[in-house]
């Protein structure tokens, strides 16, 4: 339960050794390089070669990520989400000049394919637009160029509401006019009309009144059908060319393993260049400043002295105004639960790391909410197998281990609740959420009270570490006395003691809660009354722990309902046995999945909302050493 002490490290060496030293620090993975804030006589930052190189590799990374995403979508061999990351050696993470040339050529080829693909899509869009314009007129056998008016006649081509066509034709039946329907689209008809010049203005007026919309056909020539067929042939050719590009992309997908290794190598190179941009350069030397964990400072200094004899390195305590980064350090059993703390906010430098005390509560809450011994066994068995198969990152491994440890507690609470894959194998259970719910609810509230008091005790420990001994009495002991005293009121034979303990605690809160705001005794009493009103928030906090009962009850009831329905399927005979077995596995995997997710979320909520606000000082910045963190591969001999 510790936040690792951080020390400042300063390193000076010849400029020609900079790349080698940064590479070695990256391999060590325990030194965070920080920029110099004060003005130092050095090259202009805008003209720094390191910044230019970092920008260049950043652009290369963007191109590589695009190429990998493109080929992943085209790859006919899809990768399973449970597949482990491919292995790569440390040597492969230092690409040769030939590898760089090959990868550059591949990227250029993929970008050329993408440009062709974009041009083809644009061409297909234009062709489709033209085909859609011509589609209503393919039955019209008049060339488009002949649809313009002549000396003695005028032609109209367009659409109007279907209901208006018959009245319009009847109105002009005895006049020198031809109005023909060419096609129909739902409630709209597409028409062609020809009229003698004597009546063209009258017909145009009637068409407008009927809701006529002229067709927009552009500069087409020939008949609509001939032009439509020609466009269809162009579309087929474009689609064939598109299919050829897709085949080329599928063929290029064989380069995905090399691209992924190369990406991670460039990522490591980019990280070194970002760090190089933070150091101070002169023509002959450079100066690096950063943070190193105090427990390993001497080991780092020994490596630098042994491998770079000309370099000078020293470690000092943080200076006034420094904000050291935060690194959590716990034993192997507790370390996975650091992910819960990191998911909220890191503790401020010099404050407490709550992981060790929080871990058993989190696992207990998780087990009480999943609360099925079968699901617990499943988590205990499957999670190590998935860890071995997938070989996830450090953060992913922590989440898997939280589920595995939660599986142990789930097994325990499943036995207590007498629930095994929704069945009740024991004749009588220790706890019965369905038959005796009040007992379980009281237990959940009692566990919650213990959790909250643990948070108050951590607040007291923090005050003691900071030398605020009286604050322990005013801010922690007073509330413990008040809450424990109120609890004792419900215990037969202890009510009198509880009454006086509660009164003593309330008196301390009343007098000292507003001590930092004012010296005026009346204002302090008013602040004290306001603080005492906060006891209602403690009540709401305690009631929040009833979610442990609700989630546990839901898991068991859903499992029971699944079993009843599956039992009906089993009664159908041999076919029902097979179908029922499949349903049993699928339904319980679903029930376990949603409840594991819900248990994690709600257990984390109880830490963040109820537990942390009793003591937690957040605001720490994560320790981010210069290290090699591959995204797509795992390094076997790092």
Q: Among 155, 187, 222, which residue terminates a domain? A: 222
Residue 239 and residue 208 share a domain: no
Residue 524 and residue 567 share a domain: yes
* Most trustworthy range by pLDDT among 71-85, 211-225, 312-326: 312-326
In a domain, 630, yes or no: no
Residue 148 and residue 111 share a domain: no
Query: What tens digit of pLDDT does each residue of 472-524 get?
Result: 776 777 777 777 777 777 777 776 777 777 777 777 766 666 555 656 565 66
Residue-by-residue DSSP string for 300-329: HHHHHHHH-TT-EEEEEPPPTT----B-EE
In a domain, 18, yes or no: no
Residue 522 and residue 565 share a domain: yes
Residue 63 and residue 192 share a domain: no
State how many domains the chain has.
Answer: 3
Q: 418's torsion region: left (phi>0), alpha (psi -120 to 50) or beta?
A: left
Is there a contact between 10 and 313 (Cβ–Cβ < 8 Å)? Answer: yes
CA 212 – CA 48 distance, rounded (Å): 68
Write out the residue range of the structural domain in which residue 535 sits.
355-419+436-614
Strand partners, 313: 11
Residue-by-residue DSSP string for 363-418: HHHHHHHH--HHHHHHHHHHHHHHHHHH---HHHHHHHHHHHHHHHHHHHHHHHHT
* Most trustworthy range by pLDDT among 55-59, 195-199, 298-302, 389-393: 298-302
In a domain, 27, yes or no: no
User: For position 42, what pLDDT does the model report?
Assistant: 47
Percent of the chain exceeding pLDDT 90 equals 41
Q: Among 222, 256, 288, which residue terminates a domain? A: 222
The pTM for the full model equals: 0.76
User: For position 46, what pLDDT does the model report?
Assistant: 45
In a domain, 627, yes or no: no
pLDDT band at 9 (very low <50, low <70, confident <90, very high): very high
First to last CA, the chain: 29
Query: What tens digit of pLDDT does each residue of 170-216 get?
Result: 888 888 889 899 999 888 999 998 988 888 889 889 889 889 999 88
Is there a contact between 183 and 190 (Cβ–Cβ < 8 Å)? Answer: yes
Residue 126 and residue 166 share a domain: no
Residue 469 and residue 546 share a domain: yes
Residue 218 and residue 239 share a domain: no
Residue 609 and residue 519 share a domain: yes
User: For position 468, what pLDDT does the model report?
Assistant: 75
Residue-by-residue DSSP string for 213-249: EE---TT--S-HHHHHHHHHHHHHHHHHHHHHHHHHH
In a domain, 534, yes or no: yes
Residue 368 and residue 238 share a domain: no
């Amino acid at each position: 339960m510790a936040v690792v002490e951080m020390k400042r490290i300063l390193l000076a060496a010849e400029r020609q050794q900079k790349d080698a030293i940064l590479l070695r620090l990256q391999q060590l993975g325990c030194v965070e390089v920080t920029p110099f804030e004060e003005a130092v006589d050095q090259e202009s930052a805008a003209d720094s070669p390191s910044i230019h190189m970092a920008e260049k590799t950043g652009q290369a990374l963007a191109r590589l990520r695009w190429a990998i995403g493109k080929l992943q979508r085209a790859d006919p061999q899809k990768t399973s989400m449970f597949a482990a990351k491919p292995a790569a050696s440390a040597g492969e993470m230092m690409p040769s000049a030939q590898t760089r040339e090959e990868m550059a050529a591949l990227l250029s080829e993929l970008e050329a394919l993408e440009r062709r693909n974009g041009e083809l899509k644009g061409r297909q869009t234009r062709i489709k637009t033209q085909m859609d314009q011509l589609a209503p007129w393919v039955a019209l056998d008049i060339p488009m160029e002949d649809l313009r008016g002549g000396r003695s006649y005028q032609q109209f081509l367009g659409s109007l509401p279907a209901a208006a066509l018959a009245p319009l034709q009847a109105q002009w039946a005895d006049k020198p006019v031809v109005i023909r329907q060419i096609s129909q689209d739902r409630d709209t008809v597409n028409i062609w009309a020809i009229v003698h010049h004597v009546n063209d203005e009258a017909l145009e007026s009637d068409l407008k009144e009927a809701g006529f919309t002229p067709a927009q056909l552009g500069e087409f020539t020939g008949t609509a059908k001939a032009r439509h067929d020609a466009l269809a042939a162009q579309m087929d050719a474009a689609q064939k060319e598109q299919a050829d590009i897709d085949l080329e992309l599928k063929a290029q997908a064989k380069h995905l393993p090399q691209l992924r290794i190369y990406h991670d190598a460039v990522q490591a190179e980019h990280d070194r260049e970002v760090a190089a941009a933070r150091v101070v350069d002169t023509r002959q030397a450079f100066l690096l400043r950063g943070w190193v964990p105090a427990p390993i400072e001497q080991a780092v200094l020994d490596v630098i002295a042994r491998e770079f004899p000309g370099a000078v390195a020293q470690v000092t305590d943080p200076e006034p105004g420094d904000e050291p980064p935060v690194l959590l350090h716990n034993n192997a059993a507790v370390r996975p639960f650091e992910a819960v703390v990191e998911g909220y906010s890191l503790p401020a430098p010099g404050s407490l790391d709550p992981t060790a005390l929080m871990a058993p509560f989190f696992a207990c809450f998780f087990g009480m909410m999943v609360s099925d011994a079968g699901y617990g066994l499943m988590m205990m068995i499957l999670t190590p197998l998935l860890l071995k198969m997938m070989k996830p990152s450090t953060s992913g491994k922590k989440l898997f281990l939280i589920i595995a440890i939660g599986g142990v507690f789930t097994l325990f609470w499943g036995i207590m609740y007498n629930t095994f894959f929704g069945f009740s194998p024991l004749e009588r259970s220790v706890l019965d959420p369905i038959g005796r719910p009040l007992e379980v609810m009281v237990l959940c509230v009692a566990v919650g009270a213990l959790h909250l008091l643990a948070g108050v005790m951590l607040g007291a420990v923090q005050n003691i570490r900071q030398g605020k001994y009286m604050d322990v009495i005013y801010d922690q002991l007073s509330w413990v006395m008040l809450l424990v005293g109120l609890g004792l009121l419900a215990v037969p034979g202890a009510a009198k003691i509880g009454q006086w303990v509660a009164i003593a605690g309330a008196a301390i809160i009343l007098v000292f809660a507003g001590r930092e705001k004012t010296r005026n005794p009346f204002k302090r009493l008013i602040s004290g009354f306001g603080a005492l009103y906060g006891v209602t928030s403690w009540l709401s906090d305690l009631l929040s722990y009833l979610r442990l009962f609700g989630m546990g009850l839901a898991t068991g009831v859903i499992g029971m309902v699944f079993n009843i329905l599956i039992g009906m399927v089993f009664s159908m005979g041999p076919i029902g046995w097979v179908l029922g077995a499949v349903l049993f596995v699928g339904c319980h995997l679903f029930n376990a999945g949603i409840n594991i997710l819900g248990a994690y979320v709600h257990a984390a909520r109880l830490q963040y909302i109820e537990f942390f606000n009793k003591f937690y000082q957040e605001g720490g910045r994560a320790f981010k050493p210069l290290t090699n963190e591959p995204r797509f591969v795992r390094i076997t001999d790092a």
